[in-house]
Amino acid sequence: MNTNRDLNYSLYVQKVDGFERTPFRSELEKYMVIRSGNVEQVKINFAQIRKNFLAGKGKLSDDPVRNVMYHFVTAVALISRTCIDGGMSHDVAYTLSDIYIQRADKCRTCEGLLDIFEEMQVDFAERMRALKKENVISIHIRKCIDYIYEHLDGDVSVKNIADVIGLNPSYLSKLFIKETGISVKDFITRAKISTAENMLKYSDFSYLDISLALGFSSQSAFISVFKKINGITPKKYREMYYSENTSVKKQTSD
């Protein structure tokens, strides 16, 4: 089936109407928050878009409820993949996705779907937070890990973490190694590189943008650390994974 005619007409109508689609970069940022386990920020993000939920989103159906439903299915598919990349098991992520799609399918109002939409995002975020702390015992280290994931864009150091949670930096360092098996510095680096991997897969952020977003001193410093951990450069990593995942997004949006 040739879709060029429909495509050109739709693009023309969107231009006349002044429609601007939400950039995937903006969507990715919200998925990254879910993946990081920052439950509070997930709630804030959803509250900000709820009143005008369809702004910047394409029209997938003339039926309002079905339109929201289709956007829900697209989002939960991408969120589950993002969380899998963050360490959630395939079985858990896809089964959770199935459960929420089945629940949404029974819903007959847009408001009801938005309630499920928010619940789904919070559920994934809570599970990601728990996953990152499942082998951690003390409340201090739990707070430490939360702080790290919520401040990956800044200069995260043992000293500023220790100041926030009220521990001596030396004691915190020893306690962290004891309970996680790695140093605070190594944990921060791994968290940043893991986030960078996701940004390389799912966005067109430049290497400079990624390095700045994750608090690296320079683009070259980011590339050096990335290559040290993964054995390949960010450029090579993106070449390997980016096209695959953008094609998945297109398929789920069709």
pLDDT, tens digit, for every residue of 155-187? 789 999 999 999 999 999 999 999 888 999 999
Selected residue with higher pLDDT from 219 and 4: 219
Query: Considering only 64-68, 79-83, 197-201, which range has the smallest mean pLDDT?
Result: 197-201
Predicted pLDDT of residue 252: 41
What b/e string do you get for 141-162 counting C-beta neighbours within 10 Å, with b at 16 or more? bbbbbbebbbebeeebebeebb
Residues 124/83, Cβ–Cβ less than 8 Å? yes
CA distance 151 to 160: 11
Lowest mean pLDDT among 71-85, 106-120, 239-253: 239-253
Which phi and psi angles does 91 have, rounded to 5°?
Answer: -60, -45
- pLDDT mean over 59-87: 88
Residue 248 burial (CB count, 10 A): 15
In the predicted model, is pLDDT for residue 59 greater than 80?
no
pLDDT value at residue 25: 59
Q: What is the percentage of the chain residues whose pLDDT exceeds 90? A: 48
pLDDT at position 19:
43
Q: Are the CB atoms for 151 and 211 separated by under 8 Å?
A: no
Per-residue pLDDT reduced to its tens digit, 180-236: 889 999 999 999 998 898 888 878 889 999 999 999 999 999 999 999 999 999 999
Greater pLDDT, 217 or 25: 217
The pLDDT value given to residue 27? 76
Contact 52, 20 (CB under 8 A): no
Report in angstroms the alpha-carbon separations of 52 from 65, 68, 110, 172: 14, 12, 12, 44
Quick one: pLDDT at residue 253? 42
**134: pLDDT strictly greater than 80:** no
* Res. 6: pLDDT tops 60: no
Topology of the domain comprising 139-245: Arc Repressor Mutant, subunit A (1.10.10)
Mean pLDDT of the chain: 83
Q: CA dist 166 to 143, 180, 181, 198, Å? A: 10, 19, 22, 32
Range 128-150 average pLDDT: 82
Task: Evaluate if residue 55 carries a pLDDT over 80.
Answer: no
Q: Is residue 118 very low, low, confident or very high in pLDDT (cuts 50, 70, 90)?
A: very high
Report angle CA 127, 231, 157 to the nearest 5 degrees: 55
**What pLDDT was estimated at residue 237?**
93
79, with CB counted inside 10 A (0-12, 13-18, 19+), is buried
Distance set, CA 145 to CA 36, 38, 78, 190 (Å): 10, 11, 25, 12
Q: State the average pLDDT over residues 138-160.
A: 87
Among 115, 122, 112, residue whose Cα is nearest residue 45: 122
